[in-house]
Amino acid sequence: MNYYHDSKMEHIFEILKQPKTFEEIQLSESFVNDLMLKIITSYGTVKTSTLYDITCIHWDILEMCLSKLEKEGLCAPVSGSFLFSSVQYSISKKGREKNRGIAEENPYIGVAPVSYDNYYAIMEAQLKDRYPIEIPPEVVESTFMDVVGVEYAKESLIESCIIGKGIFIYGPPGTGKTFLTGKMSDLLPPIVIPKFVEFGGKVIQIYDPDFHKMSPEQPEDTRWVKIHAPFVLTGSELNLNKLETNYDITKGVYETSPIIKANGGILLIDDLGRQRDDHELILNRLIVPMENKRDVVYVRGIPVVVHSNFIPAFSTNLDISIMDEAHLRRAPLHVFLKNPDNFELAEVFRRNLEYLDENYDENIFERFMNVYKRSNDGGEGLKPTFAHARDVAQICQAVRINRGKDIIDVDVLEGALERHVLIVLQRMNIDIAQISRKTRSFRVKTSQIKEAQESLSEFGATKISHEAEAIILDIDDNITPVQLVEYLYKRNINVDRIDLIAESDKELQSTILEIHDI
């Protein structure tokens, strides 16, 4: 017994033996027969072993279903030995005709679903009294073994997992918010979920291999799967429609939302405030499943209650005020991630190089730290982020290979630093978050052309040209004509008239070129 397979999990495994009768499988005989008919029709001729592999239904039930389909003239055995697993069945003309109506009503072909009642009972058995949990020290150590520093953040994440309460994590870009939150699910015990659930003859998909990682131990009934606690990540692409369960007409299944996929694990709403829909509407949609640990799926208009016992995590580069009190009550723990110090940054840089299996000169670390050392101490004074350490290590590898060198030395590092776009912007004192999206073009009429041109260049105007008794300039859209007049007046430059000529998007590329020109 261990943390990831305890006595409760053993009990669940004892319950989930492969059913051998219709009474045990808790699916109607007509549903299973229809499923078999659709598979045989799609293949034309198919082995019983293939039917077993596709549906995960016990041989006894398969034999009963095929025998009935054969008696009704819908299919017939065409080859095979005395072993039932080697027999091949072919669809008949009558079977094809019957299948048309069945497939139109429910086109689903695949693993036999579990009954809704069975799903609900197993979920209740696992999730009742799930929290608080005691996380063994070795699990904590293993989870955070590749995390440098941020001890204060680790403690909050651990405590969030212990009591099953949500967490709000915020701070500057590149400080490791998504990376750190992604560790949380490793602190939680696994869960057993069905691959598909049947309700009213329709199929709801629960298991999603994109989010659900299978555990080594699996139950005998392979319609169920034991997974590691899921970590479901959604970002700026999230909208209200993606938080709902929608019917896929081609697959014949209801595809569950991230709310349901995260059951038993972590649901991270990353980049909060940058979603397509208003983040307030998204947070409001989450309140009920966060509070009740249940969500509702509508199958043919009938509400079906499903489990959504996840720990919510919200991550943003914006201020904590983006969430109001009602939302913060569902995520009462918080972490503010600060920019790392230079030694932490250098250690992450080193680990990334070693992960890439790169040889390096030890002198590169002093040079790397100097990039982020305060200018008063002789450094460049750039803002340190863990993302820089990862990215620069990867770019170093590219530069080394491109230059035909065997190790990463200071020369290779300098080349990598010159290629990292965010480092280049910081070196030019450009804050990408503050770059205006609009540029205004003004015509300033004055007789003091030369003096005005010099003053406006110092004021921050980008493109400056002149015509007879007037200057044409581009400047950020937060500058008003009144401000221009006041600025020039203080420098004893008379202005006869200012006209707004145009307003356009300001491109970052142009800004970089302008800085280079200066």
pLDDT at 458: 78
CATH at 497: 3.30.70.980
Domain boundary among 307, 336, 365: 336
Using one digit for the tens of pLDDT, what is the confidence trace for 228-255? 999 999 988 888 989 999 999 989 999 9
- Quote the pLDDT of residue 173: 85
In a shared domain, residues 237 and 346: no
- Eight-class DSSP state of 213: P
Token pair recorded at residue 44: 């034309």
pLDDT tens digit string along 86-109? 899 999 999 999 999 999 989 999
Distance separating alpha carbons of residues 152 and 24, to the nearest angstrom: 50
Q: Is residue 5 part of a domain?
A: no
Residue 313 shares a structural domain with residue 351 = no
CA separation for the pair 443, 450 (Å, rounded): 15
More confident residue, 13 or 433: 13
Percent helix, strand, coil in the chain, to 5, is 45, 20, 35
Domain extent, residue 475, equals: 438-517
Are residues 86 and 35 part of one domain? Answer: yes
- Whether residue 296 lies inside any domain: the answer is yes
Q: What is the pLDDT, as a whole number, of residue 141?
A: 95
Q: Is 268 domain-assigned?
A: yes
**Predicted confidence (pLDDT) at residue 354 exceeds the cutoff of 90:** yes
What is the rounded average pLDDT of the residues 115-119? 96
DSSP state for residue 128 in the 8-state scheme: T
322 and 275 share one domain? yes
List the single range of 70-74, 123-127, 171-175, 363-367 with lowest mean pLDDT: 171-175
Residue 518 has pLDDT above 80, yes or no: no
Decide if 9 is inside a domain.
no
Q: Which letter does DSSP use for residue 360 in this model?
A: B
**What is the band of 508 on the pLDDT scale with cuts at 50, 70, 90?**
low
In a shared domain, residues 202 and 315: yes
What six digits make up the tokens of 162?
A: 């212990």
Residues 291, 380: Cα–Cα separation, whole Å: 48
Contacts of 40 (CB under 8 A, 6+ apart): 46, 51, 69, 75, 89, 90, 91, 95
User: Residue 274 pLDDT > 50, yes or no?
Assistant: yes
DSSP state of 1: -
- The CA-atom distances, in angstroms, between 21 and each of 29, 65, 218, 439 are 10, 11, 21, 73
The enclosing domain of 332 has a CATH number of 3.40.50.300
Q: How far apart are CA 260 and CA 368, in angstroms?
A: 44
| Chain centroid, CA 61 distance in Å | 40
Number of Cβ within a 10 Å radius of residue 353: 21
Whether 15 maps to a domain, the answer reads: no
Checking if the pLDDT of 506 tops 90, the result is: no
Domain co-membership, 226 together with 170: yes
Indicate the SS3 state at residue 45.
Answer: strand
Number of domain units in the chain: 4
Whether the predicted pLDDT of 512 surpasses 70:
no
pLDDT of residue 432: 64
**Residues 259 and 278 both lie in one domain:** yes
Report if residue 1 sits inside a domain: no
Neighbours of 499 (CB within 10 A): 12
DSSP assigned state of 19: P
Q: What is the CATH number of the domain that holds 68?
A: 1.10.10.10
pTM, to two decimals: 0.78
* CA dist., res. 279 & res. 22, Å (int): 47
Whether 184 has a pLDDT exceeding 50, the answer reads yes
What are the pLDDT digits (tens) for 423-455?
988 888 776 655 545 778 888 999 888 888 888
C-alpha dist (Å) from residue 175 to 338, 341, 349, 455: 7, 11, 14, 40
**Beta strands 497-505; 438-445: pairing state:** antiparallel
Which of 65, 91, 96 lies closest to 78, judged by CA? 91
Output the pLDDT for position 505. Answer: 64
Q: Which of 291, 311, 336 is the last residue of a domain?
A: 336
Q: Do both 106 and 212 map to the same domain? A: no
- In this structure, are 144 and 293 located in the same domain? yes
Tell me, yes or no, whether 128 lies in a domain: no
Backbone angles phi, psi at 58, to 5 degrees: -60, 150
Same-domain check for residues 330 and 351: no
Residue 126, domain member (yes or no): no
pLDDT at 513: 46
Residues in the chain, total: 518
- Tell me, yes or no, whether 369 and 325 share the same domain: no
Structure tokens at 68: 């009935």
Domain boundary among 111, 145, 163: 111
Q: How many CB atoms lie within 10 A of CB 59?
A: 15
Residues 57 and 85 in one domain: yes
Furthest C-alpha separation in the chain: 107
